[in-house]
């Protein structure tokens, strides 16, 4: 009878639209559930705190642990103790609280039996999402300070059920922005061989890793840390487990008595299906629970950036471009690197702006556009006043961004000065949009005189440096929107999405690399985090539409030198982008073909989950085929759809089954062409 009652308790939450927790006192088990997923954690009879299992409610997709190889959410090493699966704890307290959007947070506080530390564990579950987010704080109970020397953001050890696995990882912006950008890395998980994602600022991969077996049972994970961390999967058939680890690389945080060390949050989720299913479960969760809120229905914007002129800019040239940009319908006008006297001396160059930069900002605003400004605030030229006055503010490892020196944001005086400078620049120049740039925003530094300590620059530079700085500025100037650049998209983490409204997918690389980047990045991040910079000046639909799918579309060409035909095309294509942007921002992305490549046809689809309508971008990249049929995804096989081209022509009425099985008909006009097709339920 007791077993039946417990089963009813476990099944009851699936009828609820929101998430909730159930505490089973007899077994000291917490069950976090919503209508899609159930996850179990237990404080065992021996006092070990363990993750037990997670599974989809309506699918045969269950991941559980093995009794002989337990999985523990706490894996932290200090100079005084090693806390892990065999540490014994006592329960101090537990409670729940609701979160916006139908979610809830389960808070559990444990203390080890030796009373050296307390662990404050937060477990979050949101409505509709089969994803669990966890974060942990260590409170030092010892009378003296300890140093955290190792910390794992997301330790999971799961029963492999005897199945072979395939993994998926994703490059971020590497190799100068012209190759290997957001490429998919799909491979078999070989026994005993790590499959890893080296993520964070100046890392190689996005902070996301996926695992799937032959039965389409899948698990994905992501982490909210801008510093370097190494997410890795290891299959150990001898033990019958697959192990996930996400250790922070180079943590040396000193924790004074009575204070807390906060481990960056991470999340993991389950899915059943292909990589597009893993993608959708990831990005929809990120948009709902983590990403920076943005209520403007006109986002993503059409923008212009001055880098087509390099640093050779002048207010007269920029005024002329602003006039043209406004006439085209561009919404944000950004002045890139070169506006200041020098990097680190963030006051306008009087030779370039004799009327003052504020005068240009006022003019841009008068034309109905937002004013954006490039800031590489973690860098400073050797002759900048800040470094002349404070030479010890340099990071010990110099990235040499455009010849400038690296500043250590993990050092409190540096961070405080940079924070005040950003606020001054915003106020003095009327800034609406910050293009944050630089070379590695989480610096490598082992200066013993800095406040972060010599071995803690990676953690401190991210959590107490960059994150704290941006949080402070955004709290003081909430109207300003931030774009992550990082010398290209080289800080693709989920901590990034919490503070920025977009990030760069393609930076001055050309239209084919732009499509390749968007194809990759939309697996792990919402489409709005794929801004594309368009440098071409001889425009055609094949070029403009290569930049149209994703986040902000940023013109980076010299508008004053464009031909009348290119300007006319830009105007009509911008109007088209504005008609489609809300659909793409909120739609579900399906990758209909392999990544774009020379001599091939590529296609990507956005499906509106509410209406069932779809938009499909099809590109012919000098393929020998003049026609194609592109199989759609995610449609209702029993509904009929009207297939229309945005270039005109009579619509075609086809069933969802036909469109998915036989494909969408595409007729190209030239060897280099782009079609945008609408699939509207009839």
The per-residue b/e assignment along 493-515, b for 16 or more CB within 10 angstroms, e otherwise, is bbbbbbbbbbbbbbbbbbbbbbb
Which pLDDT band holds residue 508 (cuts at 50, 70, 90)?
confident
Please answer whether residues 247 and 197 qualify as being in contact, where contact means their C-beta atoms are separated by less than 8 angstroms.
no
Instruction: For 395-441, give the DSSP string.
Output: -SS---GGGPEEB-TTSHHHHHHHHHHHHHHHHHHT-SEEEE--S-S
pLDDT digits (tens, 9 = 90+) for 642-668: 999 999 999 999 999 999 999 999 999
pLDDT digits (tens, 9 = 90+) for 356-395: 999 999 999 999 999 999 999 999 999 999 999 999 999 9
- How far is residue 493 from each of residues 205, 222, 266, measured CA to CA in Å? 9, 8, 10
- Is 638 a residue whose pLDDT tops 90? yes
Which pLDDT band holds residue 101 (cuts at 50, 70, 90)?
confident
- Is 533 a residue whose pLDDT tops 50? yes
3-state helix, strand, coil in the chain (%, to 5): 25, 35, 40
Average pLDDT, the chain: 95
Task: Describe the strand order of the beta sheet including 217-223 as a list of residue ranges.
Answer: 89-99, 103-112, 117-125, 131-140, 260-272, 217-223, 208-213, 165-170, 184-188
The structure tokens listed for 223 are 């982490």
Percentage of the chain with pLDDT > 90? 93
pLDDT digits (tens, 9 = 90+) for 401-433: 999 999 999 999 999 999 999 999 999 999 999
- Is 9 a residue whose pLDDT tops 60? no
Closest CA to 682 of 646, 655, 650: 655
Extract long-range pairs of 666-672: CB within 8 Å, 24+ residues apart. 666/601, 666/618, 666/627, 666/628, 666/629, 666/630, 667/626, 667/627, 668/620, 668/625, 668/626, 668/627, 668/628, 670/542, 670/620, 671/620, 671/622, 671/623, 672/540, 672/542, 672/620, 672/621, 672/622
- Is 16 a residue whose pLDDT tops 90? no
The structure tokens listed for 166 are 């395939």
Helix (H) or strand (E) holding 680: strand 672-681
- How far is residue 671 from each of residues 444, 627, 647, 648, measured CA to CA in Å? 48, 10, 17, 19
Give the side-chain half-sphere CA count within 13 A for 645: 13
Q: Partners of 110 in the beta sheet?
A: 91, 119
Please answer whether residues 184 and 595 qualify as being in contact, where contact means their C-beta atoms are separated by less than 8 angstroms.
yes
- How far is residue 96 from each of residues 11, 30, 122, 123, measured CA to CA in Å? 19, 11, 9, 9
pTM here is 0.95
Please tell me what DSSP assigns to residue 465: I
- The angle subtended at Cα 205 by Cα 199 and Cα 206, nearest 5°, is 75
Which pLDDT band holds residue 17 (cuts at 50, 70, 90)?
low
For the chain, which domains are there? 2-289 (2.70.98.60), 302-586 (3.20.20.70), 589-681 (2.60.40.1180)
- Is 60 a residue whose pLDDT tops 90? no
Per residue, the 3-state secondary structure of 192-226, as one string, reads CCCEEEEECCCCCECCEEEEEECCCEEEEEEECCC
pLDDT digits (tens, 9 = 90+) for 108-153: 999 999 999 999 999 999 999 999 999 999 999 999 999 999 999 9
> How do 37-43 and 20-24 pair as beta strands?
unpaired
Question: What pLDDT score does 4 carry?
Answer: 32
* Helices and strands, number each (H, E), in the chain: 13, 42
The structure tokens listed for 650 are 């009579």
Please give the residue that has the higher pLDDT: either 536 or 60.
536
Which pLDDT band holds residue 177 (cuts at 50, 70, 90)?
low
Hey, how many other C-beta atoms are within 10 angstroms of the C-beta on 46? 9
Give the side-chain half-sphere CA count within 13 A for 508: 13
Question: What pLDDT score does 59 carry?
Answer: 78
């Amino acid at each position: 009878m007791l077993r039946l009652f417990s089963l009813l308790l476990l099944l009851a939450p699936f009828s609820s639209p929101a998430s909730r927790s159930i505490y089973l006192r007899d077994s000291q088990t917490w069950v976090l559930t919503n209508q899609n997923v159930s996850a179990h954690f237990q404080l065992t009879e021996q006092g070990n705190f363990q993750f037990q299992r997670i599974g989809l409610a309506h699918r045969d997709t269950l991941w559980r642990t093995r009794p002989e190889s337990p999985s523990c959410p706490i894996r932290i090493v200090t100079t005084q103790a090693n806390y892990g699966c065999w540490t014994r704890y006592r329960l101090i307290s537990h409670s729940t609280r609701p979160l916006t959007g139908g979610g809830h947070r389960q808070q559990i506080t444990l203390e080890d039996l030796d009373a050296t530390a307390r662990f404050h564990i937060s477990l979050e579950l949101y409505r509709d999402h089969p994803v669990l987010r966890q974060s942990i704080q260590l409170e030092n109970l010892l009378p003296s300070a300890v140093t955290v020397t190792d910390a794992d953001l997301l330790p999971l050890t799961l029963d492999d059920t005897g199945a072979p696995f395939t993994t998926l990882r994703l490059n971020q912006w590497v190799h100068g922005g012209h190759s290997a950008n957001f490429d998919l890395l799909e491979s078999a998980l070989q026994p005993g061989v790590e499959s890893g994602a080296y993520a964070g600022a100046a890392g190689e991969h996005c902070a996301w890793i996926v695992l799937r077996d032959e039965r389409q049972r899948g698990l994905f994970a992501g982490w909210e840390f801008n510093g370097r961390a190494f997410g890795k999967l290891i299959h150990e058939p001898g033990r019958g487990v697959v192990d996930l680890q996400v250790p922070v690389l180079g943590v040396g945080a000193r924790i004074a008595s009575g204070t807390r060390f906060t481990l960056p949050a991470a999340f993991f989720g389950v899915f059943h299906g292909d990589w597009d299913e893993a993608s959708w479960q990831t990005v929809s969760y990120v948009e709902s629970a983590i990403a920076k809120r943005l209520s403007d229905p006109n986002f993503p914007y059409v923008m212009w950036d001055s880098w087509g002129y390099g640093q050779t800019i002048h207010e007269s040239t920029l005024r002329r471009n602003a006039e043209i940009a406004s006439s085209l319908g561009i919404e944000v006008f950004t002045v890139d690197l070169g506006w200041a006297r020098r990097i680190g001396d963030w006051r306008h160059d009087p030779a370039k702006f004799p009327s003052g930069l504020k005068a240009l900002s006022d003019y841009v605003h008068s034309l109905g556009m937002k004013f954006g400004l490039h800031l590489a605030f973690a860098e400073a030229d050797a002759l900048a006043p800040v470094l002349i006055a404070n030479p010890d503010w340099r990071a010990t490892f110099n990235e040499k961004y455009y010849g400038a020196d690296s500043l250590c944001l993990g050092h409190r005086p540096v961070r405080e000065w940079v924070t005040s400078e950003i606020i001054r620049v915003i106020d003095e120049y009327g800034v609406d949009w910050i293009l944050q740039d630089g070379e590695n925003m989480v610096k490598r530094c082992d200066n013993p005189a800095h406040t972060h300590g010599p071995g803690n620059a990676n953690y401190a530079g991210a959590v107490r440096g960059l994150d704290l700085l941006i949080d402070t500025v955004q709290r003081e100037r909430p109207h300003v929107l931030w774009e992550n650049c990082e010398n290209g998209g080289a800080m693709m983490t989920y901590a990034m999405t919490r503070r920025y409204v977009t990030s760069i997918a393609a930076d001055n690389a050309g239209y084919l690399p732009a499509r390749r980047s968007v194809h990759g990045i939309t697996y792990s991040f919402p489409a709005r985090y794929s801004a594309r910079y368009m440098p071409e000046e001889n425009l055609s639909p094949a070029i403009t539409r290569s930049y149209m799918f994703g986040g902000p579309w940023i013109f980076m060409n010299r508008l004053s030198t464009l031909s009348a035909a290119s300007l006319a095309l830009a105007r009509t294509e911008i109007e088209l982008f504005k008609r489609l942007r809300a659909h793409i921002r909120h739609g579900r992305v399906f990758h209909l073909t392999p990544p774009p490549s020379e001599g091939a046809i590529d296609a990507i689809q956005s499906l509106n989950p509410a209406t069932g309508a779809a938009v499909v971008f099809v590109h012919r990249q000098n393929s020998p085929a003049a026609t194609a049929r592109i199989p759609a995804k995610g449609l209702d096989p029993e509904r009929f759809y009207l297939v229309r081209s945005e270039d005109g022509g009579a619509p075609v009425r086809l069933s969802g089954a036909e469109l998915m099985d036989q494909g969408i008909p595409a007729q190209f006009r030239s060897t280099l062409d782009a079609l945008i097709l609408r699939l509207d339920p009839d």
